[in-house]
C-alpha cells in the first residue's frame, strides 16, 4: 500500500489530493495549522470506504519538532512514495510592494515556503530513495511573472522552484515535479484579494485529476502547469 505525506492537507488542494489518494487505497499523512479544520479533514478521509490509513498531525511545517512528528508517522507506515510540499503562507494581506515589505514577515514566508520543504525533503530522502519516490512542490505563476505586489510570495516560490530543479539533477532516481495549479478558489487566494469575489476561480478538486495523471504518467522531472497536464494522454 502506497503512502503519501501531504503538507497543508486540511483544506484546499492538499485535502482534495489526499481524498483522491485515499479513495485509491493510499495511506496518507496530512497536517495543518488549524487543528479544528484538520480534524474535520481527517474525519472525512477516514470515512472513505476501503480507504487507507489516515494520520493527521496539527502543527506548523516551520517547526522542526512538527516535521519530526510527520516523518515519525510516515516511518510507522513503513514506506514513503510521495511527498507533496503544499503548505504555504501568503505573507501580509493586502500584498505590499517590496519597498514596504516588512523583513521579519518576509523571513516567515521563506521559512514556510522554502526552508521547511527542503527540511522535509532532507528527512524523507532515505525513504523516498528506497521506493523510487516522487516529490511534488506546489508553486505558482507568481514565481515566474513579475506581478507588482507579489515580490515576497513570488520570490519564495521562485526559490522553491530552483530548489526543485537542483534536487531533480542531484536525485536522478526520483521524480521531482514543481507543479503550478493555477488560480483556485481557496482561502489563500481570497486573502490575496481581500473583499473581492473569487467565485469564478476553479475549485481545487478540478486540478487533482491533472495532478494524478502527472503522477501516473511519471514523465521526467520538471515544471508542469495544471492546464498543460490536463492535455496529457490518459
Domain segments of the chain: what residues? 3-229
Which residues belong to the active site? Answer: 153
pTM: 0.92
Contact 29, 57 (CB under 8 A): yes
Q: How far apart are CA 29 and CA 42, in angstroms?
A: 10
Residue 197 has pLDDT above 70, yes or no: no
Task: Write down the architecture of domain 3-229 according to CATH.
Answer: 3-Layer(aba) Sandwich (3.40)
Residue 234 has pLDDT above 50, yes or no: no
Q: What are the pLDDT digits (tens) for 97-133?
A: 999 999 999 999 999 999 999 999 999 999 999 999 9
Residue 198 has pLDDT above 70, yes or no: no
Where residue 149 falls among pLDDT bands split at 50, 70, 90?
A: confident
Q: Which residue has the higher pLDDT, 156 or 50?
A: 156
Q: What are the pLDDT digits (tens) for 49-80?
A: 988 999 999 999 999 999 999 999 999 999 99
E strands of the chain, at which residues? 3-6, 27-32, 54-58, 82-85, 134-138, 175-180, 222-225
Residue 40 burial class via C-beta count within 10 angstroms: exposed 0-12, middle 13-18, buried 19 and up = middle
Residue 189 has pLDDT above 70, yes or no: no
Predicted local confidence at residue 188, as pLDDT: 66
Question: For the chain, what's the residue count?
Answer: 234
Query: Can you read off the three cell numbers belonging to residue 143?
Result: 514565481
Amino acid at each position: 500500500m502506497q503512502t503519501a505525506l501531504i503538507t497543508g492537507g486540511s483544506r484546499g488542494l492538499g485535502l482534495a489530493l489526499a481524498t483522491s489518494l485515499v479513495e485509491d487505497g493510499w495511506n496518507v499523512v496530512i497536517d495543518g495549522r488549524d487543528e479544528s479544520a484538520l480534524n474535520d479533514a481527517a474525519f472525512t478521509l477516514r470515512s472513505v470506504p476501503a480507504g487507507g490509513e489516515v494520520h493527521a498531525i496539527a502543527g506548523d511545517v516551520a517547526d522542526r519538532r512538527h516535521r519530526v512528528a510527520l516523518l515519525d508517522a510516515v516511518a510507522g507506515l513503513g514506506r514513503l512514495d510521495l511527498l507533496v510540499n503544499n503548505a504555504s503562507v501568503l505573507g501580509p494581506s493586502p500584498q505590499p510592494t517590496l519597498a514596504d515589505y516588512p523583513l521579519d514577515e518576509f523571513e516567515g514566508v521563506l521559512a514556510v515556503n522554502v526552508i521547511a520543504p527542503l527540511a522535509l525533503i532532507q528527512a524523507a530522502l532515505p525513504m523516498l530513495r528506497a521506493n523510487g519516490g516522487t516529490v511534488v512542490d506546489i508553486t505558482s505563476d507568481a514565481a515566474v511573472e513579475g506581478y507588482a505586489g507579489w515580490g515576497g510570495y513570488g520570490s519564495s516560490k521562485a526559490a522553491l522552484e530552483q530548489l526543485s530543479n537542483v534536487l531533480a539533477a542531484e536525485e536522478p532516481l526520483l521524480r521531482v515535479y514543481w507543479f503550478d495549479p493555477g488560480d483556485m478558489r481557496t482561502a489563500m487566494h481570497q486573502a490575496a484579494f481581500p473583499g473581492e469575489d473569487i467565485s469564478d476561480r476553479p475549485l481545487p478538486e478540478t486540478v487533482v485529476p491533472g495532478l494524478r495523471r502527472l503522477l501516473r504518467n511519471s514523465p521526467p522531472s520538471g515544471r508542469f502547469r495544471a492546464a498543460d497536464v490536463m492535455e496529457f494522454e490518459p
